[in-house]
Amino acid sequence: AELLELAGAAYKLLIPIYEHMRAFDFLHVAYGHLSEVYRDVINVVGRLHGQPVSYSRL
């Protein structure tokens, strides 16, 4: 879970750079990856607590 949280932190640093550059394709990919990272963190934490996690993917 720590590795996934670090990946999320890295994307949080990159996103403002992409916004400043107006690099919309990079932003789209970065937000998609960030969403996947947080989804994985939620799943790991849920499993650690013995709770099934359900979410809808848009």
Task: Please tell me the distance from the alpha carbon of residue 31 to that of residue 27, in angstroms, as a whole number.
Answer: 6
Task: Please tell me the distance from the alpha carbon of residue 17 to that of residue 2, in angstroms, as a whole number.
Answer: 24
Q: What is the pLDDT of residues 13-42, one digit of tens each?
A: 888 998 999 999 998 998 888 888 788 878
pLDDT of residue 12: 82
Which carries the bigger pLDDT value, residue 49 or residue 1?
49
Which carries the bigger pLDDT value, residue 4 or residue 6?
6
